[in-house]
């Protein structure tokens, strides 16, 4: 900002917070010099979200202390850092065999984003839209994101899931839809082995590949109730 812009900022700040007003000419001159020294590289406003008046108003609303020029400078640095964090360097159009031109174009695009004169290039962000048509066709062909051959190969390493899938394929109720009254496993979690020791306390907490019979009965009763309803 130029000195006249800094003077406008101080006038705006004084309207919002009279504590920042300096009535003595010498103090006012020193205040203007201090603010200009710290804010000479901070723009008054940009086309992409930055406005020094908004930063001042936010500080006045959020802080009980009078605003200092360093508060505005820090807000500007946070704005720049956020924009650069969301920016991905596009491929320069300069000749790759000309390192100086290549580097100059990269630095120029980053400088434009940092100063708010250009929007960040965020081509790495997730975009809307469904899967590709080829992916949809393959999913319809195999019926699942995991092919049957891969599912069969993983079955020995996922016995609880394999037993659950086999039960559903056979038309039996899914026991994991209900909590287990025996081991108190919550819905969606596999049953746990509980052995009662001589002292009457439960021992062992290893997950089981199959559900307890009482859980199976409860799942069958719940399925029958839903079908009857």
Question: What are the tens digits of pLDDT across the range 169-199?
Answer: 777 788 888 999 888 888 888 888 877 667 7
Q: Which two tokens stand for residue 171?
A: 């038309």
Cα–Cα distance, 88 to 107 (Å, whole number): 12
In contact, 215 and 191? CB cutoff 8 Å: yes
Query: What residues contact residue 84 under an 8 Å CB cut-off, 6+ apart?
Result: 110, 113, 114, 120
Question: What are the tens digits of pLDDT across the range 88-141?
Answer: 877 788 888 888 988 898 888 888 888 777 888 766 555 555 666 666 676 666
Cα–Cα distance, 12 to 46 (Å, whole number): 18
Q: How far is CA 13 from CA 59, 64, 73, in A?
A: 10, 14, 15
């Amino acid at each position: 900002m130029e000195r006249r812009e800094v003077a406008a900022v101080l006038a705006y700040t004084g309207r919002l917070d009279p504590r920042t007003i300096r009535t003595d000419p010498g103090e006012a001159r020193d205040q203007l010099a201090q603010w200009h020294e710290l804010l000479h590289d901070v723009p008054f406003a940009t086309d992409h979200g930055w406005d020094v008046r908004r930063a001042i108003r936010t500080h006045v609303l959020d802080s009980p202390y009078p605003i200092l020029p360093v508060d505005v400078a820090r807000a500007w640095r946070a704005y720049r850092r956020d924009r650069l964090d969301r920016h991905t360097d596009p491929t320069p159009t300069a000749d790759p065999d000309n390192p100086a031109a290549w580097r100059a174009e990269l630095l120029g695009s980053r400088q434009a984003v940092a100063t708010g004169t250009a929007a960040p290039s965020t081509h790495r962000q997730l975009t809307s839209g469904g899967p590709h048509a080829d992916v949809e066709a393959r999913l319809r062909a195999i019926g699942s994101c995991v092919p049957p051959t891969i599912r069969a190969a993983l079955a020995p390493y996922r016995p609880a899931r394999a037993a659950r899938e086999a039960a559903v394929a056979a038309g039996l109720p899914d026991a994991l839809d209900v909590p287990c009254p025996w081991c108190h496993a919550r819905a969606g979690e596999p049953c746990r082995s509980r052995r009662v020791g001589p002292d009457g306390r439960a021992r062992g907490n290893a997950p089981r590949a199959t559900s307890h019979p009482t859980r199976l009965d409860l799942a069958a009763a719940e399925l029958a109730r839903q079908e009857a309803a």
